[in-house]
A and B are shown apart, each in its own frame.
Chain A
Amino acid sequence: MILESNLVANLKQFVQYTGFANATFGHIVMILIGLVFIYLAIKKDWEPLLLIPIGFGMIIGNIPLFPGMQVGIYEDGSVLNILYQGVRRGFYPPLIFLGIGAMTDFSALISNPKLLLVGAAAQFGIFAAYAGALALGFTPAEAGAIGIIGGADGPTAIFLSGKLAPDLIGAISVSAYSYMALVPVIQPPIMRLLTTKKERLIRMAAPRPVSQQEKIVFPIVGFLITAFIVPSGIPLLGMLFFGNLLKESGVTRRLAETARGPLNDIVVILIGVTVGCSTQADKFLQGSSILIFALGAASFVVATFAGVLFCKILNLFLKEGKKLNPLIGNSGVSAVPDSARVSYVQGLKYDPTNFLLMHAMGPNVAGVIGSAVAAGILLGFLS
């Protein structure tokens, strides 16, 4: 009899620890969202390298837990919590920037440096979203973290939100990556709206060949200038330009290959899965998340507007033959290389012989530098 009652008590306790006993509606919703991410990655091939880790991370993070078992991502000392420190303390994003630097070719930008200005103009989206978030009642620190979604740069968004608004990191990073995946859907209508057929047919002069010497000087001078003006951006800018120097120096091929290959892959896995885990239902399913998604969409729209309009304004001052095709303006949004591909595809639609890809890569990589600088400024003002 006693054995029977003990057995029942044990079973009851066991049931109490299972996910079924602790499940809430929110957990189920988040698991379904995770499954949708995985579906989109596998079936639609949308950012699979990011959506698979984030999607599965969402499932891991939303398995209902009995509190105090030290396995949840927000429980101090748990394995997931230790891995999450890379996001929370911001050491994964600079490592990703190292990989981005090691895989980015700045030749297009060096050959036509005025494209840097297009990359700067597209950062308007960040500050439009910042103002919008303030108007919606977010604190300036939270607004800064939300605004950086407009930079269209996942690692930068994670880096800044980890510093300024850790509670919103899940919503901000998922929003940033979602809109980056949707760049080919969001940008083309705006590009068509703002340009005439004549402008879309503008042919830009072929980029000149860039010497090895220029490629080596670029990361060094680029870092010195940007870091001296915005020292708070050093973690991102330093690693970006360092990675690029590894690539361009010509004498550190092994290091460059490691930075853009295995190291980058490891960090992408860790950042994806831990960001996914951090979207626990009680943290993620809030009204603020919906507002963040709305502000994120608005920031992408404004950034695209600003980039395209800036090209048109710049054309007013450029001589015939040196004018920019405004279809590359959207590339200032630094979703590399997606927004450049959008310019390329749109350009081909109107003139199958007008290849804008290399021209669009200029503002695209300038956007990476611009968003890292903007993140540094926000960090300096708000942290």
Chain B
Amino acid sequence: MKKILSVFTLACLLLASSFAKAQSPVDIRINEVQVSNVSGLQDENGDRCGWVELFNTAYGMVDVAGFYLTDDKANPTKYMIPKGNTATQVPLRKYFILYADGQPNKGVFHMNFTLDGVKNLYLYSTDGTTLLDEIELPQMGADQSYGRYVDGEGKHEPINWSKQSARKNSVDKKIAEDGGFSILNHPTPGSTNVTTRVETKSEKMKDMDPWGGILAVTAMGTVFLCLIILYLCFRQIGKRAIKKQAEEKAAKNAPAAPAASAAKIPADGAINEEIIAAIAIACHMYQNGVDSGIHDVESNVLTFNQDLLRNSPWGARSLTLKQDPGK
């Protein structure tokens, strides 16, 4: 049992280390950038400037304090997102705005450089060396922004975009060709970049699988997979348990065997009245009750039959939800 548990724990740890990525800095993306802000987002002073929007693609909160933003790859620690402010804790699937006005003393989240003439923007982790995301900025008009079609998806995205490009939809193809980014005529700082209606999963499924065959096969496969893994686990656990029980029984019986038999059968060989009565009743039931079901059939063994019909909690009408309507 100990061996199984240690193997199972090891397997879990390996799985976790391979796949776990929740609440990790790598889940932060540069989601949208605006260089020329004429009539858009205002900062806490009511002023307008360029801004950078980060997006948390994780399924848990990520603290972006200590992350670095730079327009110069040779200077990755050009601007550090300030520490000591709870606003840097970005909840799952939420946004974080930084103002690019080159005036870091104007407010907490004001960067020390502007985006004018910037061609590339890089996001580094707290160590200042791990590149988390980068974005190449095209020429944008006033009040336009550059961002992802779908929040968090695109280059450096958690999903494989090249696979997504196989989608039939021509819009999707265009998105794929652009690497998931485009110039947005209607900037959306602090909210989703998706301004058009998105096809629901149900609608996608209708297009992809109009007769339900694919879902049926996938889902049944998954149900079987779950239960087969459970079966394999408990087959092994059961084997171990049987072996352990047998060992325990053997260990228990070995030294105690003479004493036990002595307790059952009196030393003088006399059989008391209770044993005689039990044997008599068993013989009576065996001779008269096999057909009527009051005795169970076990070759060469006489036993008392447990009356499941009346005593089982599952058979007891008072303990179940309803009676058999067939009666």
Co-assembled chains A and B:
yes
> At the interface, yes or no: B233 with Cβ under 8 Å from chain A?
yes
> At the interface, yes or no: B312 with Cβ under 8 Å from chain A?
yes
> At the interface, yes or no: A26 with Cβ under 8 Å from chain B?
no
> At the interface, yes or no: B198 with Cβ under 8 Å from chain A?
no
Residue from B202, B233, B308 having most chain A Cβ neighbours under 10 A: B202
> At the interface, yes or no: A169 with Cβ under 8 Å from chain B?
no
Q: How far is the CA of A361 from the CA of B297 in the complex (A)?
A: 22
Give the contacts of A343-373 with B (CB-CB under 8 A): 344-345, 348, 352-353, 355, 357, 361, 366, 369-370, 373
Q: Which residues of A contact B238 (CB under 8 A)?
A: 110-111, 113, 208, 214
- Interchain CB contact under 8 A, A344 and B314: yes
Name which residue of chain B comes closest to A337, CB basis. Answer: B314
**Contact A130 to B322, CB < 8 A, known contacts A141-B202, A337-B314, A373-B222:** no
> At the interface, yes or no: B229 with Cβ under 8 Å from chain A?
yes
> At the interface, yes or no: A116 with Cβ under 8 Å from chain B?
yes
- Interchain CB contact under 8 A, B233 and A225: yes
**Cβ-neighbour of B219 out of A134, A135, A369, A374 (below 8 A):** A374
Give the contacts of B186-219 with A (CB-CB under 8 A): 200-203, 205-206, 209-213, 215-216, 218-219
- Interchain CB contact under 8 A, A131 and B211: yes
**Contact A184 to B216, CB < 8 A, known contacts A225-B233, A229-B225, A337-B314:** no
Number of interface residues of A (CB under 8 A): 73
Q: In the complex, what's the smallest C-beta–C-beta distance from B228 to chain A, in angstroms? A: 7
Give the A-B pair count, Cβ closer than 8 A: 176
**Cβ-neighbour of B222 out of A184, A230, A348 (below 8 A):** A230
Q: Which residues of B contact A184 (CB under 8 A)?
A: 324-326
- Interchain CB contact under 8 A, B224 and A117: yes
Q: How far is the CA of A382 from the CA of B203 in the complex (A)?
A: 9
Q: How far is the CA of A116 from the CA of B230 in the complex (A)?
A: 8
Q: How far is the CA of A284 from the CA of B226 in the complex (A)?
A: 36
- Which of A10-18, A45-53, A64-72, A73-81 forms contacts with chain B? A45-53
Give the contacts of A141-184 with B (CB-CB under 8 A): 141, 143, 164, 181-182, 184
Q: Which residues of A contact B15 (CB under 8 A)?
A: 228
- Interchain CB contact under 8 A, B202 and A120: no
Interface string of B216-257 (1 = CB under 8 A from A): 101110111111111101110110011011000000000000
Give the size range of B's interface with the partner: 35 or more
- Interchain CB contact under 8 A, A217 and B226: no
Q: How far is the CA of A344 from the CA of B215 in the complex (A)?
A: 34
- Interchain CB contact under 8 A, B323 and A45: yes
> At the interface, yes or no: B320 with Cβ under 8 Å from chain A?
yes
- Interchain CB contact under 8 A, B325 and A181: yes
Q: In the complex, what's the smallest C-beta–C-beta distance from B198 to chain A, in angstroms? A: 14
- Interchain CB contact under 8 A, B212 and A377: no
Give the contacts of B69-116 with A (CB-CB under 8 A): none
Q: In the complex, what's the smallest C-beta–C-beta distance from A230 to chain B, in angstroms? A: 6
**Cβ-neighbour of B226 out of A50, A114, A229, A361 (below 8 A):** A229
- Interchain CB contact under 8 A, A123 and B324: no
Q: How far is the CA of A188 from the CA of B327 in the complex (A)?
A: 13
Q: How far is the CA of A204 from the CA of B274 in the complex (A)?
A: 33
> At the interface, yes or no: B158 with Cβ under 8 Å from chain A?
no
Q: In the complex, what's the smallest C-beta–C-beta distance from A19 to chain B, in angstroms? A: 32
Q: In the complex, what's the smallest C-beta–C-beta distance from B121 to chain A, in angstroms? A: 34
- Interchain CB contact under 8 A, A357 and B201: no
**Contact A383 to B201, CB < 8 A, known contacts A120-B223, A229-B226:** yes
> At the interface, yes or no: B315 with Cβ under 8 Å from chain A?
yes
> At the interface, yes or no: B138 with Cβ under 8 Å from chain A?
no
Q: In the complex, what's the smallest C-beta–C-beta distance from B23 to chain A, in angstroms? A: 15
**Cβ-neighbour of B314 out of A49, A127, A357, A381 (below 8 A):** A357
Q: Which residues of A contact B12 (CB under 8 A)?
A: 224
Q: Which residues of B contact A221 (CB under 8 A)?
A: 8, 230, 233-234, 237
Give the contacts of B121-139 with A (CB-CB under 8 A): none
Tell me whether chain A's interface is mostly helix, strand or loop, or mixed. helix
- Interchain CB contact under 8 A, B219 and A46: no
- Interchain CB contact under 8 A, A225 and B242: no
- Interchain CB contact under 8 A, B234 and A134: no
Residue from B201, B226, B228, B237 having most chain A Cβ neighbours under 10 A: B226
Q: Which residues of B contact A48 (CB under 8 A)?
A: 321-322
Give the contacts of A84-109 with B (CB-CB under 8 A): 109
- Interchain CB contact under 8 A, B205 and A377: no
> At the interface, yes or no: A218 with Cβ under 8 Å from chain B?
yes
> At the interface, yes or no: B293 with Cβ under 8 Å from chain A?
yes
- Interchain CB contact under 8 A, A134 and B211: yes
> At the interface, yes or no: B296 with Cβ under 8 Å from chain A?
yes
Q: How far is the CA of A218 from the CA of B220 in the complex (A)?
A: 22
- Interchain CB contact under 8 A, B222 and A217: no
- Interchain CB contact under 8 A, A225 and B229: yes
**Cβ-neighbour of A113 out of B234, B296, B315 (below 8 A):** B234
- Interchain CB contact under 8 A, B315 and A181: no
**Cβ-neighbour of B227 out of A208, A369, A378, A383 (below 8 A):** A369
Q: How far is the CA of A120 from the CA of B320 in the complex (A)?
A: 25
**Contact A134 to B212, CB < 8 A, known contacts A117-B228, A353-B293, A378-B219:** yes
**Would you give 8 A-B contacts (Cβ < 8 Å), ordered by A?**
A45-B317, A134-B210, A181-B325, A214-B234, A221-B8, A229-B229, A353-B296, A369-B230
Binding site for B on A (CB under 8 A): 44-50, 109-111, 113-114, 116-117, 119-120, 123-124, 126-128, 130-131, 134-135, 139-141, 143, 164, 181-182, 184-185, 188, 208-211, 213-214, 217-218, 221-222, 224-226, 228-230, 337-338, 340-341, 344-345, 348, 352-353, 355, 357, 361, 366, 369-370, 373-374, 377-378, 381-383
Can you name 15 extra interface pairs (CB under 8 A) apart from A355-B308, A369-B230? A113-B234, A116-B231, A120-B223, A134-B206, A135-B211, A184-B326, A211-B241, A213-B1, A214-B234, A217-B237, A226-B230, A341-B324, A345-B324, A369-B227, A370-B223
Closest 9 A-B residue pairs measured CB to CB?
A127-B216, A131-B212, A352-B293, A141-B202, A113-B234, A140-B205, A120-B227, A116-B227, A377-B219
